[in-house]
Amino acid sequence: MIGNPGQGMYACPNCGAQWPVGPRYCWACGHALNSAAPAPTLDPAPPPTPYEAVTYSPPPGPDQPRSYGPAPSYPAGFGYPPAPPGRTKLPIFAGLGIVALVGVIGAGALIIGGRGGQAARSLGPLVVPTFQATQATTPPVPAPGTFGAASAMDVARSGDTATLLADGRVLIVGGSNSDLGSLASAELYDPESGSFSATGSMTAARVYHTATLLSDGRVLVTGGQGNGSRTIASAEVYDPKSGTFSATGSMTAARVSHTATRLTDGRVLVAGGQNLDSGALASAEVYDPKSGTFSATGEMTAARYDHTATPLPNGRVLVVGGSGFTGALASAELYDMATGTFSPTGSMAAAREYHAAALLSDGMVLIAGGENADSGALSSAELYDPASGTFSPTGPMTAARSGGSATLIQDGRVLVVGGSDGSGPLVSAELYEPRAGAFSATGSMATARRWQTATLLSRGRVLIAGGSADASAEMYEP
């Protein structure tokens, strides 16, 4: 080996690693530094080759694959050379403060490795260590444009709500199933662990209620239907810090199948719905998180339930379709929080209830599917332009859907999932491309669903949970 008397260092002629006076074998590659010494008990060292970069790919998170890219190339002697055939190459992370405890042989025999490339110091005989690599088990990641299985919820649910919390978790609240009726239970989905866990229960069982994220990170839950076809006026607030629900002021009217939309000033607009005893409601009210109370605001121009309410970039709220006293509605209206009043806007080409709505990146609003008494489930779709106050046709979808979901994903497209075409729940899904004004099929779910929840997670994937009183969940990879 080549010596450096000035620093007492030697360079291995095989791999270039530098060592102090004393070693008979190169710790990096096992090359005999003293030709008279017996061969070490390692696999034969390979011929000298340039150091190969290693790509480090940690297990992907449950909602987003992670890639840290290729590792930089380091000079010979910095880390291990390519492993001989039959061995797993161990990636080496070079940086300040990487310390390797190699072994203790005899009294006072301690070898300490310093920063990458720095010489090890030997206080006794050097023993070449043998490392055993282990391979991490990673959960399967859905291919782009497909659904993959996610862990199941604790309870089967349909007609529940899903709310993305400020910390990235998803709060699942209420709903119903055939065994338990309306549910008071709630659970949390944690994207980091990829699992659901129970959290505090509501003060009342509810289905077809609303859940709205407040500005302070809490969640307002309003109305719904309790057991025994009872319409509920009460409301409660979930605190993610304590994991508990607590009662807040009650609404001025009992409501089910209504909407609740957070306004730009932090208050929440609750509009329409129905009372199971008296029918569709035109009334509306506003919740003030600071006082914890509801107060009446202007009435809608039409009584409606099973409609949609979409907050617009200009601060107004677009209310579309739904069902009234005469069936499905084609009308739409706007709420102005400055005046506290509703005013009519352009009507849709088709009357719709159980449709889906999504605010697009350009401020337009996509209205897709739904149903009416004349046509049954609808495949048609329309766009609302806030600038002109009018609807125009787009699409249509690849399948008729009533009770499906529409979710704006990070690239500006809209994922439309499930629903019913009139013959039963669907497994199919499709994507709307705003620039082309067209829908195209994407991967199908493993389970047919209607009234499921769809939540865009912070890393871009979409969590699909429940629907059709099912406990299963799936993850869509855009």
Q: What is the pLDDT of residue 286?
A: 98
Cα–Cα distances in angstroms (integers) from residue 191 to residues 170, 188, 236, 410, in the given order? 8, 10, 25, 17
Print pLDDT tens along the chain (478 aa): 444 433 445 566 776 655 444 444 454 555 555 443 443 443 444 444 333 333 333 334 434 333 333 333 333 333 333 333 333 333 333 333 333 333 333 333 322 333 333 333 333 343 333 334 333 333 467 899 999 999 999 999 999 999 999 999 999 999 999 999 999 999 999 999 999 999 999 999 999 999 999 999 999 999 999 998 899 999 999 999 999 999 999 999 999 999 999 999 999 999 999 999 999 999 999 999 999 999 999 999 999 999 999 999 999 999 999 999 999 999 999 999 999 999 999 999 999 999 999 999 999 999 999 999 999 999 999 999 999 999 999 999 999 999 999 999 999 999 999 999 999 999 999 999 999 999 999 999 999 999 999 999 989 999 999 998 899 999 999 9
308 vs 261: CA distance, rounded Å: 10
Q: What is the pLDDT of residue 71?
A: 34
DSSP string across 216-254: TS-EEEE--EETTTEE---EEEEETTTTEEEEEPPPSS-
Phi/psi zone of residue 465: left (φ > 0), alpha (ψ -120 to 50 degrees), beta? beta
462 vs 53: CA distance, rounded Å: 34
Q: What is the pLDDT of residue 68?
A: 30
289 vs 220: CA distance, rounded Å: 9
β-strand partners of 261 = 269
Beta strand spans in 373-470 (E): 376-377, 381-385, 390-394, 405-408, 414-417, 429-433, 438-442, 453-456, 462-465
385 vs 318: CA distance, rounded Å: 11
459 vs 66: CA distance, rounded Å: 10
Q: What is the pLDDT of residue 146?
A: 97
418 vs 395: CA distance, rounded Å: 17
Run of H or E residues at 332: strand 332-336
77 vs 13: CA distance, rounded Å: 11
Q: Which amino acid is at 28?
A: A
Run of H or E residues at 110: strand 110-113
321 vs 302: CA distance, rounded Å: 10
Q: What is the pLDDT of residue 142?
A: 82
Q: What is the pLDDT of residue 228?
A: 85
DSSP string across 257-290: S-EEEE-TTS-EEEE--EETTTEE---EEEEETT
Q: Convert 208-219 to b/e letters by CB count within 10 Å (16 or more is b).
A: bbbbbbbeeebb
Q: What is the pLDDT of residue 32?
A: 54
Nearest to 175 by CA among 244, 236, 227: 227
408 vs 411: CA distance, rounded Å: 8
324 vs 337: CA distance, rounded Å: 24
Q: What's 152's DSSP letter? A: P
461 vs 457: CA distance, rounded Å: 6
Q: What is the pLDDT of residue 31?
A: 52
117 vs 56: CA distance, rounded Å: 20
DSSP string across 35-56: TTSPPPSSPPPPPP-PPPP-B-
222 vs 260: CA distance, rounded Å: 8
- The stretches of 140-242 forming alpha helices (DSSP H) are none
